[in-house]
Amino acid sequence: MLTIGKVAERAQVTADSIRFYEREGLIRPAGKSESGYRLYTEEAIRRIEFIKQAQECGFSLADIRELLELRSTDSACCDDIYRVSVEKKLQLEHKIKALTAMSQALTRLIDMCSHDRKSLDECPILGALEAGVAKQGGKAPKAQLKMGAKSK
């Protein structure tokens, strides 16, 4: 049996992380020592490695809980894991699409700035945000026109 410190060292995580995983129901100590310390088996290290790997693939703790449950369910099969993975990939692709749109909106705003060091009242970026130009990709606001900002 292994103490929390040993598990942390072997799995290369902190003891706090292990306690956190435990609170989240992802791992459980196999028992307690006479003095009340948590004790774990080698399985805890394998589970922590699994959790770390899954987190790197974008799985949330709730997803990981589901994957771990499936892993220990006799009736589950690879189709179940496959389904969860496909759904996660789709979610990630949705996020990438949203982030790309945000990045493009920021590019439009950045392009509006002429670096003229005018007052904030005339800031084209603030003006565009107020006018919703970044979202629409439409024409420049008054402030930008006043400052004669570059157009691309």
Partner 1 sequence: MKILIEVFSAPGCAKCAQTRQALKSVAEELGKERFVWREVNVLQEIDYAVQLGVLAPPSLAIDGKLVFAALPTPDRLRTELAKRLERAGSRSAR
Q: How many CB atoms are closer than 10 A to CB 101?
A: 11
Measure the CA–CA gap between 33 and 11, rounded to whole angstroms.
21
By CB under 8 A, residue 79 contacts partner 1: yes
28 or 83, CB closer to partner 1? Answer: 83
Nearer to partner 1, 96 or 106 (CB): 96
CA dist 28 and 4 (Å) reads: 11
Q: Is the CB of residue 148 less than 8 Å from the CB of residue 119?
A: no
Q: How far is the CB of 87 from partner 1 (least distance, A)?
A: 5
Strand (E) positions, 30-138? 31-32, 38-40
Strand, helix or coil at 38?
strand
Q: In the complex with partner 1, which residue's Cβ is closer, 49 or 80?
A: 80
* Positions in 80-109 near partner 1 (CB under 8 A): 82-83, 86-87, 89-91, 93-94, 97
- Residue 68 is classified by DSSP as H
Q: How many residues bind partner 1 (CB under 8 A)?
A: 11
Structure tokens at 152: 């691309």
CB of 97 to partner 1, least distance (A): 6
Task: Quickly tell me which residue has 């805890």 as its tokens.
Answer: 44
Select 97 or 142, whichever has its Cβ closest to partner 1. 97
Q: How far is the CB of 82 from partner 1 (least distance, A)?
A: 7
**Closest approach of Cβ 101 to partner 1, in Å?**
12
Name, in order, each residue with C-beta under 8 angstroms of 148's C-beta and a sequence gap of 6 or more. 114
Nearer of residues 74 and 79 to partner 1, judged by Cβ: 79
Interface residues toward partner 1, by CB under 8 A: 79, 82-83, 86-87, 89-91, 93-94, 97
